[in-house]
Structure 1
Amino acid sequence: MIREQYGIQRVEAAFMAVDEINRNPDLLPNITLGIEIRDSCWYSSIALEQSLEFIRDALSDSDSCGGSGGHDDSRGFIRPNRTKNIVGVVGPGSSAVTIQVQNLLQLFNIPQVGYSATSLDLSDKSRFSDFLRVVPSDYYQAQVMVDIVHYYNWTYVSTVYTDGNYGQSGMTAFKELAEESNICIAEEEEVLSNAEDHAFDDVIKNLMEAEQANVVICFCEGMTVRNLYRAAQRNNVTSRFLFIGSDGWADRTDVVDGLEEIFIGGISVKIKSPYVKDFDKYYFALRPMQNLRNPWFEEFWQHKFNCSLPVKETLAGLPPCTGDESLSERYYQDTKMSFVMKAVYTMAHGLHNLQRAVCGPVKGICPGMLPINGSQFRF
């Protein structure tokens, strides 16, 4: 399934940002910025495979095949047909996957800008020297959660976190700050986001053992929160706990889908992200026959509107698309849209400043810029 939020919209936001940059005569003059997008599927192993693929392509001395471009549908990404100068990498979305990718990229001094990875570990410049992000670290989320607990004079809480870098580093920050505020922790639970139902049932039962701790701090990925609420529902204790969640839950509609009533009363922290008005006009004008640079768009279109495109094999039982479909239907803008665009712009400004520092008055790419070295970037 190709998701609209957390997927297609972020791809199109990156395309839109690159288009704007290339139209701006004052940003990277005489340099055309390109973009190659890979699907990590939110898995570290796939993200590393994709990263190795484009690094290999960048280091290749000869054209891999003729033509100006193409993509390999079986692997789900746009495949370059000629050697390109890699400026840097934007993303991926999650902290755990970002850390794995950064460990690889820094071997080649390839700069990386994160648009969503908030792990406190990524602030360690001794480990991640070529990493920059446009969102604050989890330390600040943890501080907000402690402030909420302190404001309501709750001094005895339980905690749950997703097993992985995001949950572990966030909860470590929360516990340190909670201790400074004299907040005691009754139960501490760790669970995999994709664990079986019985594992989440065990978490709920363990939380219930702390009879005086009704507030649960959850530094969790979205599906962890959803599975916790489902476990509370199975055990008939939906009114027993007040969950305070991090941005892994926040305003994700897929987390609460079908469980809206039992989520009432919960609190989640969200990083402020302004609405990108210009994106709506751009996005609503997209059509599958014209939007050929996005290899996932046709499949997404068919699933969103439950129809078959004429140039594709007719999907079983689905009527043909009429051409009257509109992306404005059931539209909800991805809340990290502005971060994606800001990350692309950050990379462009870093390259712009590098070009000015190395090339002086010469416009365009000069020999001193190549190969691109992340340590020379001027963000």
Structure 2
Amino acid sequence: MLFFRHPALLLSILLIIDLILIVSGINAGKKLGKDKEKKKKSKSRLVATVPGDIILGGLFPVHSSGAVKCMSLNPERGIQRLEGMLFTLDEINNNSALLPGLRLGANLRDTCSLGNHALEQSLDFVKTTVDDVMNEPKEQDKMCVCPCAPGGVPYCPGGGQGMPGAAMPHPTSWSQDIVRGVVGGSYTTVSILVANLYRLFKLPQISYASTSAVLSDKRTYPLFARTVPSDVEQARVMAALVAAHNWTYVSTVRSAGDYGDSGMDAFWKEADKRDVCIAAREVVRGSSTSNDLDEVVRVLRYGFSKARVVVLFTRMDHTKLLLDAVRRANHTDHFVFIGSDGWGRENIPVLNNSRVANGALTIEILATEIDKFSTYYKNLRWDNTRNPWFTKFWQSLFGCTFDNSSTQNDVPHCEVTKNKRLGDKLPEPFKQEAKIQFVYDAVYALAHGLHNLQQKLCPFDPDPAKWDKNECIRKLLAYPGDKFYKIIISTTFKGIFRAYHI
């Protein structure tokens, strides 16, 4: 019998086996390919694509999850953050000084706020690499067969026509499916799962929201970076806030999982340094029911009644469940909550719970709103087709339908909204989602990394006789991912808020 001391090693082995089975299935026949295409049409397999020379992947929680996977839309953390990446790509592609001669494209996926679902989506990011490994080309396949470069341009790097090029990659690697780096995920559980996959295929990853200190371990996550600080900093601020108010006896509630566990562990250590005693140490799990939350509130209220201050390191949905339970128990004026950025300035936990949340202090990572994005977002119209989830969002926001066969006579057709802008239905003043800046910075970090790599491998020259675009793309795609990651993290650029160093 085999025993694995390192879960990451076991996960890696299982991933490799899974990938081999997937690729074997892909190559098994056309029928499976057709079935896969049908599956992609389901809402969980939709893809937002932007054509380009170099493709970046993106992972966003477009849908939340509950009893049903991919349940309801996440307007702020899902739709708005995804549009933040699309906006940033537009800005980069309109800047001739950054990646001159090349355009960035995108392949953006919905994680449905679940790690396993994000892993399924991420398999497509590495599929081309896996295909190359599983289908090692024969010598004759390495011959230059035109067209063998993007755009159908004949290209024979080895010299004369028909001569094999020593550095010529397998033709499938010219596919637009190749992803050079990934922006995401949002939740720590998502980022950890996909980081294990990306490590196997040397695919750099930059998260805009995953703050868990667990991800700081470079031995386990060597290709992970982020544009937000870790929870250690957040925990230090929360402990200092508690101590500053002379609250020396507090209870804690955390979400089970890497975000809540590592964040709360850091808070306990910081609280101990400041002589703050911990009363209840409650946990909200993914399987927790309303009855479970009622029991948590009972323990907080009657088991440790003197600890009126409750520190939360909980996900937004768990925060909502807890506040709902406090309201049901009619303890609306008893607790003072200190919330992590899992609550932040989100409105969802406070819905129907304004009295419960009255007096709460929540932490949010300092960020600057991007005025140009707000203008872009408010001016979006119904025909924003590059975001495949936007139609559903529009229908929900405007209370209409694009379905001509709809039997719901009381729901107007969205034809009446075709002269509207998104801003016509958004609250005024418009509140930009708290981590849009960090999405923006993550995309720019990859773009500047690619720019520096381009300067190293194939500096742009406007004279086509001196600069081969297809050769440059080939070099950028063939460059080892682990070495590209080192270029990214050594890159310094001026972001919206400050000079940024990943």
TM-score, length basis structure 1:
0.89
* Contact map agreement 1:86 1:372 (CA 8 A) in 2: no
Return the match for 1:374 from 475, 481, 495.
481
In structure 2, the partner of 1:342 is 441
In structure 2, the partner of 1:218 is 312
Does the C-alpha gap of structure 1 residues 93 and 178 become closer, same or farther in structure 2, counting only changes over 3 Å?
same
Does the C-alpha gap of structure 1 residues 220 and 165 become closer, same or farther in structure 2, counting only changes over 3 Å?
same
In the alignment, does 2:394 pair up with 1:295?
no
Return the match for 1:256 from 331, 341, 350.
350
Does the C-alpha gap of structure 1 residues 242 and 315 become closer, same or farther in structure 2, counting only changes over 3 Å?
farther
| Cα distance in structure 2, aligned partners of 1:327 and 1:212 | 48
1:281 Cα deviation from its structure 2 partner = 2.0
1:222 Cα deviation from its structure 2 partner = 1.1
Return the match for 1:326 from 407, 421, 426.
421
Matched to 1:270, the amino acid is E
In the alignment, does 2:295 pair up with 1:199?
no
Compare 259-268 and 2-11 and name the one that shifted more: 2-11
Return the match for 2:331 from 225, 237, 251.
237
Consecutive unaligned residues in structure 2, runs of 5 or more: 1-71, 136-150, 152-173, 462-466, 489-502
* Contact map agreement 2:333 2:355 (CA 8 A) in 1: no
Compare 312-321 and 345-354 and name the one that shifted more: 312-321
Return the match for 1:358 from 454, 457, 474.
457
Return the match for 1:56 from 127, 130, 135.
127
In the alignment, does 2:378 pair up with 1:284?
yes
Matched to 2:476, the amino acid is M
1:60 Cα deviation from its structure 2 partner = 4.2
| Cα distance in structure 2, aligned partners of 1:33 and 1:324 | 31
1:129 Cα deviation from its structure 2 partner = 0.8
* Contact map agreement 1:354 1:376 (CA 8 A) in 2: no
| Cα distance in structure 1, aligned partners of 2:321 and 2:361 | 16
Does the C-alpha gap of structure 1 residues 330 and 288 become closer, same or farther in structure 2, counting only changes over 3 Å?
closer
Provide the alpha-carbon RMSD of the alignment.
2.1
Which secondary structure state, in structure 1, belongs to the residue aligned with residue 206 of structure 2?
A: strand
Aligned 1:298-309 pairs, distance under 5 A: 298-309=391-402
1:319 Cα deviation from its structure 2 partner = 0.6
Compare 196-205 and 163-172 and name the one that shifted more: 196-205
1:267 Cα deviation from its structure 2 partner = 0.9
* Contact map agreement 2:327 2:353 (CA 8 A) in 1: no
| Cα distance in structure 2, aligned partners of 1:161 and 1:137 | 16
Q: 1:207-246: CA deviations, max 9, x gaps?
A: 2211321111111111211211121122222222111010
Return the match for 1:30 from 74, 95, 101.
101
| Cα distance in structure 2, aligned partners of 1:313 and 1:273 | 45
1:59 Cα deviation from its structure 2 partner = 4.7
Does the C-alpha gap of structure 1 residues 33 and 176 become closer, same or farther in structure 2, counting only changes over 3 Å?
same
In structure 2, the partner of 1:2 is 73
Matched to 1:48, the amino acid is L
Compare 49-58 and 107-116 and name the one that shifted more: 49-58
In structure 2, the partner of 1:171 is 264
Does the C-alpha gap of structure 1 residues 41 and 312 become closer, same or farther in structure 2, counting only changes over 3 Å?
farther
| Cα distance in structure 2, aligned partners of 1:6 and 1:194 | 22
| Cα distance in structure 2, aligned partners of 1:91 and 1:373 | 20
Return the match for 2:83 from 12, 21, 39.
12
Return the match for 2:361 from 267, 271, 274.
267
Matched to 1:171, the amino acid is M
| Cα distance in structure 2, aligned partners of 1:216 and 1:36 | 41
In structure 2, the partner of 1:74 is none
| Cα distance in structure 2, aligned partners of 1:203 and 1:286 | 43
Q: 1:284-343: CA deviations, max 9, x gaps?
A: 332223x2211111121111101123x754362311121243311224322211111111
Does the C-alpha gap of structure 1 residues 60 and 288 become closer, same or farther in structure 2, counting only changes over 3 Å?
farther
Identity of aligned residues (%): 39
In structure 2, the partner of 1:143 is 236
Which secondary structure state, in structure 2, belongs to the residue aligned with residue 143 of structure 1?
A: helix
* Contact map agreement 1:89 1:111 (CA 8 A) in 2: yes
Q: 1:49-91: CA deviations, max 9, x gaps?
A: 00012311455469xxxxx9xxxxxxxxxxxx94433111101
In structure 1, the partner of 2:40 is none
Q: 1:7-61: CA deviations, max 9, x gaps?
A: 2211211111111111111111122110011000010111000001231145546
Compare 139-148 and 203-212 and name the one that shifted more: 203-212
Compare 117-126 and 291-300 and name the one that shifted more: 291-300
| Cα distance in structure 2, aligned partners of 1:360 and 1:25 | 13
* Contact map agreement 2:345 2:364 (CA 8 A) in 1: yes
Does the C-alpha gap of structure 1 residues 324 and 314 become closer, same or farther in structure 2, counting only changes over 3 Å?
farther
Q: 1:67-118: CA deviations, max 9, x gaps?
A: x9xxxxxxxxxxxx94433111101110111000101001000000000000
* Greater relative contact order structure (CA < 8 Å, 6+ sep): 1
Matched to 1:49, the amino acid is E
1:194 Cα deviation from its structure 2 partner = 5.1
Which secondary structure state, in structure 2, belongs to the residue aligned with residue 34 of structure 1?
A: strand
1:132 Cα deviation from its structure 2 partner = 0.7
Does the C-alpha gap of structure 1 residues 249 and 263 become closer, same or farther in structure 2, counting only changes over 3 Å?
same
| Equivalences, count | 360
1:274 Cα deviation from its structure 2 partner = 1.0
| Cα distance in structure 2, aligned partners of 1:257 and 1:183 | 31
* Contact map agreement 1:85 1:372 (CA 8 A) in 2: no
